[in-house]
Amino acid sequence: MAMRSLCFLVFLAAAMQGTLAVDYTVTNNALSTSGGVRFRDAIGDDYAKQTLDSATQFIWGVLQQNAPADRKDVQKVNLFVDDMDGVAYTSNDEIHLSARYVNDYSGDLKTEITGVLYHEMVHVWQWNGNGQTPSGLIEGIADYVRLKANYAPSHWVKAGQGEKWDQGYDVTAHFLDYCDSLKSGFVAQLNQQMRDGYSDQLFVQLLGKTVDQLWQDYKAKYGTS
CB of 124 to Zn ion, least distance (A): 11
Amino acid at 74: V
Nearer to Zn ion, 121 or 207 (CB): 121
Choose the stretch contacting Zn ion; rule: CB under 5 A; options: 95-103, 127-135, 137-145, 157-165.
137-145
How far from 199 is each of 42, 77, 165, CA to CA, in Å?
43, 29, 14
Residues contacting residue 62 through CB under 8 Å, at least 6 positions apart: 144, 145, 148, 187, 188
CB of 147 to Zn ion, least distance (A): 13
- Taking CB under 5 A as the rule, does residue 142 contact Zn ion? yes
Instruction: Please check whether residue 175 is in contact with residue 134, taking contact to mean a CB–CB distance below 8 angstroms.
Output: no
Choose the stretch contacting Zn ion; rule: CB under 5 A; options: 57-65, 98-106, 138-146, 217-225.
138-146
- Distance, in Å, from the CA atom of 92 to the CA atom of 68, rounded to the nearest integer, reads 17
CB of 86 to Zn ion, least distance (A): 11
- Distance, in Å, from the CA atom of 93 to the CA atom of 109, rounded to the nearest integer, reads 24
CB of 213 to Zn ion, least distance (A): 27
- Distance, in Å, from the CA atom of 77 to the CA atom of 92, rounded to the nearest integer, reads 9
CB of 146 to Zn ion, least distance (A): 10
Nearer to Zn ion, 139 or 166 (CB): 139
63-71's contacts with Cβ under 8 Å and 24+ in sequence apart are 63/125, 63/126, 63/145, 63/187, 63/188, 63/191, 63/192, 64/185, 64/188, 64/189, 64/192, 65/125, 65/188, 68/18, 68/21, 70/192, 71/125
- Taking CB under 5 A as the rule, does residue 159 contact Zn ion? no
> If DSSP codes are grouped into helix, strand and coil, which group holds residue 4?
helix
- Taking CB under 5 A as the rule, does residue 99 contact Zn ion? no
Choose the stretch contacting Zn ion; rule: CB under 5 A; options: 1-9, 14-22, 135-143, 171-179.
135-143
Amino acid at 192: Q
CB of 55 to Zn ion, least distance (A): 13
Choose the stretch contacting Zn ion; rule: CB under 5 A; options: 66-74, 133-141, 156-164, 210-218.
133-141
CB of 125 to Zn ion, least distance (A): 12
Choose the stretch contacting Zn ion; rule: CB under 5 A; options: 4-12, 67-75, 141-149, 158-166.
141-149
Interacting residue ranges for Zn ion, rule: CB under 5 A: 139, 142
